[in-house]
Each structure stands twice: as C-alpha cells, then as structure tokens.
Amino acid sequence: MSLQTQVYALIVLLGIITFAVKLKLSSEQTQAFYQQQMATHARDTATSLGLAISPYLNERDMMVARTMVQAIFDSGYYAQIELKDDQNKSLVNLNHNPEIHGVPSWFMRLFQLTAPTYTKELNSGWKVGGFLSVTTHPGAAYIELWQQVKQAAISSAMILVIALSLAYLVLRSVFRPLRKVEQQAQRIGQKQFVQNNASPKSRELFSVTKAMNDMVTSIQRTFDALTKQSDAYYRQAYRDELTGLGNRRAFDNQLSAVTEQLQDEHTHSVAMVTLPSLQLINEHHDYRQGDAYVLAVLEVIKRYLAHLGDYHIYRISGGTFTIHMPYPCDFVAETLSRLHHSLQKEQHHRYEKGFAHLSIASVNSCSTVGSILSELDTAISTASPDKPAMCQTHNLVQSQSQWRETIVRIIEQGNFSYSFQPVRKQQQQQAHYFETFVRISDQGKSIDNQQLFAMAERLGLACELEKKLFQAFINFRNTHTELALAVNLSKEAFYNEDFITWVCRQAHHYGCLRHNTVLEIGEATLLADIAMAKNVLARLKAFNIKVCIEHFGSSLTSFRYLRDLNIDYVKVDAAYTKDLQQNDDALALLRSIVTTCTGIGIKTIACHIENAVSFDKAMQLQFDGLQGNYIKPPMQLEEGPEQAIFNFQTRTL
C-alpha cells in the first residue's frame, strides 16, 4: 500500500471517528436536555394543577377536580395523571400510551428517554388533602430528539465531506512531487536515469528531490565517462577505424572461442573476401578512393548476407574481410554464391585486378585460426567467375521439403534432452542460475541448433519450434521450482508478438516462471530494434522474469544502450574472456565493463572460463558470475543424480 493511500485512509478514518464521536456527544447532550425538560414539565404541571384543584378535593366538588385533571390530560403530553386522597386511595387515574410515529425503533433503543413522574402533595387548609402524580409522555421528546440528531448528523457529514475534500486537495498537491520522486526511483531501478523536474515547496521533499537528481547526474556522468573509455578500448584493441568492424584480434579471439565450443559433429562457415585492386588504387589515386572502394565492397557483402540474421564481418587487414557464419557451408552456399556473382558484376576498368574475390571454408572443433586463414588464402587463387572457391565441399544434407518434415516431426514428438551449466557467484559456493542447453535429435541423429532454427525461420516454423522448446522448459521448471534456470530466446521469437503474448500467458498461469527464471537474449537481437526490445522487456519484467544479455560486446558497438534497457545480467562474449591470458587491453576493457555495469545495477558474468589463469583474472576483475568448463562443464540429467548436477563442487571453489 502506498504512503499516499495510507495517509488518505488515516485521514478518512480520523474524520469518521471524529464525526461519530461528535455526533454521539451531541446526541447524548440533546438526550440529557430533553430528559431534564420532561422532568421540569412534569414538576411544573403537577405544581400548577395541584394548586388549581386543591380547593375542590372535598367529595362535593370532586367533579370539578376531575374535570380540570381531564382537561390537562387531554393535551396529549402526559402518559399518566393520578389523583389520590390522603389515604392513598386513587380518586382519578388517567393513562395514555400511544405508539410513537416518525421515530425509528432502533433510535429509541439507542437513545432511551425515561418518562419522569413527579408527585405533588395537595393541602386542604392545614391538612393533607391528597397526592397528585404526573408522568410526562416521551413521544414529543423523542420526535424533537430525532429531528435534532438528524440535523446534527447532516451538518456534521457536510463538514466532514468538505474537510476531507480540502484535505485531499492539499495532500494531492503535497504528494504530487513525492509521486514524481517515487517514479524517478522506480525508473532508476529499471536502469533509466532521468531527472525529476518537479520543484516541491516543502523543505524535506525538496532536499530528497535534489539529492536524487544529484545522484542521477553523477551516475550519468560516470556512465558516460566509462562508456567513452570503453569505446576507446574497443577502437584501440578490437575495432577497425574505417568500417567499425572487428579487426584481426577480434576475429582470432571469436573464432578460437567458437572452435572450442563446437561439438564434433557440428561445423560453422568462414568466408574471406579480398580486394585485389586496393593497393593499386591507393598507389595511383589516393587513400580516400581506396577507402571508398573498401566501403563499397562492404556494402555489397552486407546486402547479400542480411537475410542470414546471425553472422559477423571482420576486416582483418586493409584489403581482406572475413565473415563468420554459425551454419554449415552447405547451408550458406547458395547465399555466398549469389554474393560471389554480385561481386563479379562489379568489375570495372578502375579495378585492374578485379573487384573482389571470395572463398569459403568449413570450421570444426579441430580447426585453428591459422589453418583456416591459410586454406582461405590458398583457395582464393582457385576462384572462378562462376562460383566461389570452396575449401571443403559437402553434399546438401536435406532439401527444404525434408527440413520441413524434420522440423514438423520435432515439434510433434519433442525429442529434446537438456544439459545444465552453473553461473557461479563470485565469492560464494552458489549459483546465480543454471543455463539450460537443449540438444535436439531426430531419428537418432543430433541436429545443429543454429542450422535448425535458421531453416525454421525460413519456413515460418520458428515460433512453433520455440513454443515447443519453451513448453518443455516450463514442464521441467514446474517440477524444479527451487532452481534458478535460464533459457535462450531467438531473435525471431523475441520480436514475435504472438510468441511474447503466449509467454506472458504462460507466466500468468505457471507461477514457477515468475520466480528464478532468466531469459538469455543475444546482444545482436536487442540491437536490432532497441525501442521494440524495450517494450518486450517491460512486458517480461512485469512477471518478474530476469533478463541476461549474452555475447555482450560481440557487436563491437557502444554499450550506451544499456541505460535504456531494464536488464539484470550481461554475459561478456567469450572472445574477450579468452583474451584475458595475454592481452592487457582486454583486461582494461573488461574492467571498464564491470565498473560501468556495477554502477547501474547490472550483474556481469564472465563465460568461457576454461583454465586457472582465466579464472584468477576474472576473479580479480570482480565479475559477479563465472561460467565455464573450469567451473563445471554442462551436465545432462542422464549423466548423474540431480543433486550432483545442481549442487556443484569443483576444485576452484
């Protein structure tokens, strides 16, 4: 309950209590007044009537006395008038107890009026002639009391409403700047650092607002300074100045990390594009035309690879681009063939040695950076105008129709197996969460996930496949609610409205998703559309789902975008953690990333920790989480009891 609601409730409660107490006291005072008035009325009537009938108490004049008593009694204000002689014998006894109309029975039970009786001694000369008793009827008093209480209640209620309305208006003006302070605090918690332009009149709120704004300004300055510093490290160590692409070091680190993580039966592709005429243009013209030549080739490459979705381009030397694609050569052969033909069409008399040459190589777990580049360089000489040079050729595993059958079969049958790897806390023998890796098989054969999802996207089945995988994750999650588990989302699923709506419905239905669940999303996915990504993340965060950016830094872009996204973790790309052992620039960059993220409340994770040196470096850099085979390799449920998988113990702890 908000402070504003509590204050409003307290004021209303106090107002109602004050109204009730005031009404009660006023009613009791009025009740006592009418009780006293009835007693006075009975006494005055008995006195005056007694004096009037005293001369007529003898038996001969008793009729006169009776007539006078009857006349007074008929006025209706009395319940009883009784005349007795000196022997206490009743001479006249008149009673009247009519029903009281216009007054609720509950009111008469709540405010009871006792009918007063006053007895007057009557004298006949020097002797006692008799006794006159007068009892006032409370009907008239009840009616007057009811009217008085109603008027008091109405007037008090009007005063209460007016007072509460004024209090509401005053408090609203007081709470308006406080609400802005609250909103600012909430946005800070969502990693959005905005200034509060409100100017509270109260000294306390003004001090709080100023302190919050000063803190936001300080965080913004620190964030901007560290962002500039990190950008400088990027440019110096990993980024080509002309194109903004990764340089040779970035390519070497990325490819080394990829080959170490590849399974034996899976392959990736690497293409090389060389610019044979670049040196001549630089020598015979100027470097600006050479730069234009480089950018023109890059534009053609990007245009033809755009539909692949997941790929990285590097400029490893002045006239050489490399392209890493997480798909087998057969999968990208058609795309690269079209790229090759487009490059050949760009031949012009300015390019005496040709516009660009293309070669392709397959990468497996045994490949090294040197061997791949050597193969690509050698293959360039075999390139022909008809097709690009292929270092290794394979037959197409499946046609599109076969792929459709395979994907539909997977969606229907769900042949999935899971393995789990912990993200260890920095200083504790506990895990932030366990990353879930899915292994998909069909008819006894393991299928490469990257290729499967790429084909599913082409065939319009990506979201159905993601739903199947996510539902299987939910089923496991529902039986392991105490574990913090993470699952990956593809770009196609993340930006699909139907899929995100379905996930939100599942989160509403399954309470397990609202606790200890982390979604890992690639950096390239988020950067594809920051505005839309921000909206999707807000919908997911509404269900308390945590978010981790994986492959952080792989896009070689400024991480200023972090300030606009409400995320919980960033997992630094393996290319940087692998470079920890021999590169001081990598240490400086990672230190800057850790400092910046910590400053805005984001936990940092170093992945691909494969040896003691990387582990020690990552510990020194104060990463919040560590992940890698040196901590503990991924384990399938079939490999051992769940306790051994999820309660990890390693020599490094």
Taking residues 481-495, what's their average pLDDT?
Answer: 88
Domain assignment present for residue 332? The answer is yes
State which residues form the domain around 60.
Answer: 3-162
Task: Tell me, yes or no, whether 308 and 373 share the same domain.
Answer: yes
Q: What residues contact residue 504 under an 8 Å CB cut-off, 6+ apart?
A: 539, 540, 542, 543
Which CATH number covers residue 526?
3.20.20.450
Domain assignment present for residue 428? The answer is yes
Question: How far apart are alpha carbons 52 and 45 in whole angstroms?
Answer: 10
Distance of CA 477 to the CA centre of its chain: 20
Task: Tell me, yes or no, whether 365 and 489 share the same domain.
Answer: no
Structure-block tokens of residue 307: 């539909």
H or E element in which residue 608 lies = none
Task: Tell me, yes or no, whether 366 and 515 share the same domain.
Answer: no
CB 631 within 8 A of CB 609: yes
Which CATH number covers residue 377?
3.30.70.270
Q: Which of 162, 183, 208 is the last residue of a domain?
A: 162
Number of structural domains found in the chain? 3
Domain assignment present for residue 187? The answer is no
Q: Which of 162, 190, 219 is the last residue of a domain?
A: 162
DSSP state of 648: -
| Mean residue pLDDT across the chain | 83
Domain assignment present for residue 602? The answer is yes
Residue 20: pLDDT band with limits 50, 70, 90: confident
Q: Kindly report, residue by residue over 132-154, the tens digit of the pLDDT.
A: 899 988 888 888 888 888 888 88
Taking residues 329-339, what's their average pLDDT?
Answer: 85
Q: Is 478 helix (H, G, I), strand (E, B) or coil?
A: helix
Q: Kindly report, residue by residue over 600-647, the tens digit of the pLDDT.
A: 889 999 988 888 888 888 888 899 999 988 888 888 765 555 555 566
Strand partners, 447: 440
Is the pLDDT assigned to residue 120 strictly greater than 60?
yes
Domain assignment present for residue 176? The answer is no
Question: How far apart are alpha carbons 222 and 217 in whole angstroms?
Answer: 9
Domain assignment present for residue 617? The answer is yes
Which CATH number covers residue 145?
3.30.450
pLDDT, position 497: 92
Domain assignment present for residue 287? The answer is yes
Residue 394: pLDDT band with limits 50, 70, 90: very low
Is the pLDDT assigned to residue 220 strictly greater than 90?
no
Q: Kindly report, residue by residue over 371-393, the tens digit of the pLDDT.
A: 888 888 888 776 655 566 665 54
Q: Which of 139, 162, 185 is the last residue of a domain?
A: 162
Task: Tell me, yes or no, whether 488 and 631 share the same domain.
Answer: yes
pLDDT, position 499: 92
Strands 569-572 and 389-390: unpaired
pLDDT, position 512: 86
Domain assignment present for residue 404? The answer is no
Q: Kindly report, residue by residue over 187-207, the tens digit of the pLDDT.
A: 777 677 778 777 777 777 778
Residue 651: pLDDT band with limits 50, 70, 90: very low
CB 569 within 8 A of CB 547: yes
Is the pLDDT assigned to residue 553 strictly greater than 80?
yes
pLDDT, position 638: 56
- Largest Cα separation within the chain, whole Å, is 158
Task: Tell me, yes or no, whether 259 and 301 share the same domain.
Answer: yes
Q: How much of the chain, in percent, has pLDDT values that exceed 70?
A: 92
Task: Tell me, yes or no, whether 23 and 142 share the same domain.
Answer: yes
Task: Tell me, yes or no, whether 360 and 426 share the same domain.
Answer: no
Buried b (16+ CB within 10 A) or exposed e, 160-184: beeebeebeeeeeeebebbebbeeb
Task: Tell me, yes or no, whether 143 and 79 share the same domain.
Answer: yes
**Which CB contacts under 8 angstroms, 24+ apart, belong to 18-21?**
18/160, 19/156, 19/157, 19/160
Task: Tell me, yes or no, whether 431 and 321 share the same domain.
Answer: no
Task: Tell me, yes or no, whether 493 and 642 share the same domain.
Answer: yes
Structure-block tokens of residue 282: 């630089």
Cα four-point dihedral sign 505, 511, 512, 513: positive
Task: Tell me, yes or no, whether 570 and 422 share the same domain.
Answer: yes
Task: Tell me, yes or no, whether 356 and 494 share the same domain.
Answer: no
pLDDT, position 652: 40
- Whether the full predicted model's pTM is greater than 0.85, yes or no, is no
